[in-house]
Amino acid sequence: MASERHFSPLDRVLLQADAALRTLLPFSGQPGRPSPAIVEPEAELDPLQAQHVAGLMRINHTGEVCAQALYQGQALTAKLPQVRKAMEHAADEEIDHLAWCEQRIRQLGSQPSLLNPLFYGLSFGVGAAAGLISDKVSLGFVAATEDQVVKHLDEHLQQIPEADRKSRAILEQMRVDEEQHATSALEAGGLRFPAPIKFGMSLLSKVMTKSTYRI
């Protein structure tokens, strides 16, 4: 948008602070799309099933917190305006995912991870660093990250009880969006990361999933 060029460095820092608060404070993110779960009936899950699904949705929620921070960090340091706009557009879609996951977690009688501020800070730093290196690396990091997210979603879809169509509908739509983010990042010139780097990212993602499943 035309007004973007008038933002000073301080303006951008304040915008990032606002984005962080909207990401981390409960019910602060306003989705642009209604949750896919709205049209699905509520399932009767036993306590153990509900606890397990809540843990999976908490992992996905934290994953979206990380994605939001990653995009915001990259948008702050992106060199090309079109790359910055692409990051900001992807971040907007991640807000939908955040809101959908949080709503479902609450419906299951649980709450988002207490570790979200920590993971937000770490992801923001990684995103900003990637943007400082180059837009090509930044976009490549998006593609590699979204590949990891898609793998997690596939694993979780296999674990969600068939009767829980609400959670399943959310994860299926998230998968569509994340796959598109990865494709768009590569088409925009993103670097295809080699296998060793992707393996390292996979190990880090396992730390996140194991810690946020319960906390």
Q: What is the pLDDT of residue 55?
A: 92
pLDDT level of residue 131 (50, 70, 90 thresholds): confident
Q: Is 152 annotated as a binding residue?
A: no
pLDDT level of residue 9 (50, 70, 90 thresholds): low
pLDDT level of residue 3 (50, 70, 90 thresholds): very low
Phi and psi torsions of 206, nearest 5° = -65, -35
Residue type at 146 in one-letter notation:
E
Task: For residue range 13-60, list pLDDT tens digits in order.
Answer: 666 666 666 666 666 667 778 888 898 888 888 989 999 999 999 998
Task: For residue range 160-194, list pLDDT tens digits in order.
Answer: 998 899 999 999 998 988 888 787 777 777 777 66
Q: Is 64 annotated as a binding residue?
A: yes
Q: Is 97 annotated as a binding residue?
A: yes
Give burial (CB, 10 Å; 0-12/13-18/19+) of 171: buried
Q: What is the pLDDT of residue 78?
A: 64
> Would the pLDDT of 4 be above 60?
no
Kindly state the average pLDDT of the residues 144-160: 86
Burial pattern 126-137, b for ≥16 Cβ within 10 A else e, equals bbbebbeebbeb
Three-class DSSP category at 193: coil
Q: What is the pLDDT of residue 26?
A: 65
Residues with Cβ within 8 Å of residue 5, at least 6 apart in sequence: 81
> Would the pLDDT of 116 be above 80?
yes
Q: What is the pLDDT of residue 79?
A: 65
- DSSP class of residue 42 equals P
Task: For residue range 50-99, list pLDDT tens digits in order.
Answer: 999 999 999 989 888 888 888 777 777 766 666 666 666 666 777 888 88
Give burial (CB, 10 Å; 0-12/13-18/19+) of 3: exposed
pLDDT level of residue 2 (50, 70, 90 thresholds): very low
- Cα–Cα distance between 165 and 159 in angstroms, integer? 12
- Cα–Cα distance between 166 and 14 in angstroms, integer? 36
SS3 content of the chain, % helix, strand, coil (to 5): 80, 0, 20
Q: What is the pLDDT of residue 1?
A: 37
Domain spans, the chain: 8-22+44-212
Q: What is the pLDDT of residue 56?
A: 92
Burial pattern 159-170, b for ≥16 Cβ within 10 A else e, equals ebeeebbbbbbb
- Cα–Cα distance between 92 and 32 in angstroms, integer? 8
pLDDT level of residue 8 (50, 70, 90 thresholds): low
Q: Domain 8-22+44-212: give its CATH superfamily.
A: Ferritin, core subunit, four-helix bundle (1.20.1260.10)
